[in-house]
Structure 1
């Protein structure tokens, strides 16, 4: 287990928490009242900054209940919080549903998953190793 340090930037900001002992993501909550109309999106502040350790990242993911009941999800899912970012965590929500989506102060709007994020060492070569799949792309491994 790693320790993650949060800074409260707003009085209404809530410390993220896991809903159950087996939860992968900590719930992030809104600090403002907002309405997202169908087909629209909004950037929702959490009032939190976070210090993620080097070699790790924060992934902002949707809450399945908002998606299944309201058609609301995180637009850039998963959003990435880099280890060197120190600004406010904000969540871009989009409403694919048919009704206005009402956000209240303290409402859980997304999840924060902390995951390893090793950096790669990119380089150019004249060719890359062949595989059976080759360059067969979208849909090439089957329909089901």
Structure 2
């Protein structure tokens, strides 16, 4: 059996620059699912804090789609920075600026100085007094990725009983760990 795949599905997405330095997203490689979202200003994230990092962009997504905001694996592997609500959902009806909620999950604090860490966990000049375990997300850093996804609309039907399945009501951990 041969399966022929003609072409990637395309959807028109309108983008508005809200900041002169905003970077229009692009896919790094031909078969990538996600496109890069880039910080439009410097943001310091102290240990245990969450920061909202602006991208300087607003999107008009087609009806029936969402934009999923996901972590970049390199940042997650190299640092203690995490996307707070990953994957975050941007609804098709939203027209405001896309911002990335990022956590510094490092719990060590209290060592102030002029240096902190970058998104690659390398020590850098902060330009101000800051905890050395803080992260400096710099303007121009690729901080997250966006994935466009089709979203079916649920049609809810209230019933008195649900059909039986092998799993039944087995929830958290019901299939074991090995």
**TM > 0.5 fold call:** yes
Pair 1:74-2:64 in alignment: no
Q: Secondary structure at the match of 2:101?
A: strand
* Displacement after TM superposition at 1:123 (Å): 2.0
Q: How many Å apart are 1:143 and its aligned residue?
A: 0.6
2:136 corresponds in structure 1 to 102
Gaps of 5+ in 1: none
Match of 1:141 in 2: 175
The reply to whether residue 119 of structure 1 matches residue 149 of structure 2 is: no
Give the Cα–Cα distance (whole angstroms) in 2 for the partners of residues 140 and 81 of structure 1.
32
Pick from 24, 33, 38 the counterpart of residue 24 of structure 1.
33
Whichever of the two has the greater Rg, that structure is: 2
Q: 1:59 aligns with which of 68, 84, 101?
A: 68
- State how far apart, in whole Å, the 2-side matches of 1:15 and 1:53 are: 17
Query: Over aligned residues, Cα RMSD in angstroms?
Result: 1.1
Ranges of 4+ aligned residues in structure 1 off by more than 2 Å: none
Q: RCO greater where, 1 or 2, for CA within 8 Å and sep 6 or more?
A: 1
Secondary structure at 1:18's aligned position in 2? Answer: coil
- Kept in 2, the 8 Å contact 1:63–1:73? The answer is no
Select the residue among 125, 130, 133 that pairs with 2:164.
130
- The separation in 1 between residues aligned to 2:30 and 2:176, in whole angstroms, is 36
Cα drift, residue 142 of structure 1? 2.2
Q: How many residues align?
A: 144
Rounded to whole Å, the distance in 1 between the matches of 2:105 and 2:76 is 9
- TM-score (ref. length: structure 2): 0.78
Question: How many Å separate the matches in 2 of 1:11 and 1:22?
Answer: 29
Separation (CA, whole Å) in 2 of partners of 1:2 and 1:132: 39
Specify the alignment match of 2:111 in structure 1.
Answer: none
Query: Please, which runs of 5 or more residues in structure 2 have no aligned partner?
Result: 1-9, 109-132
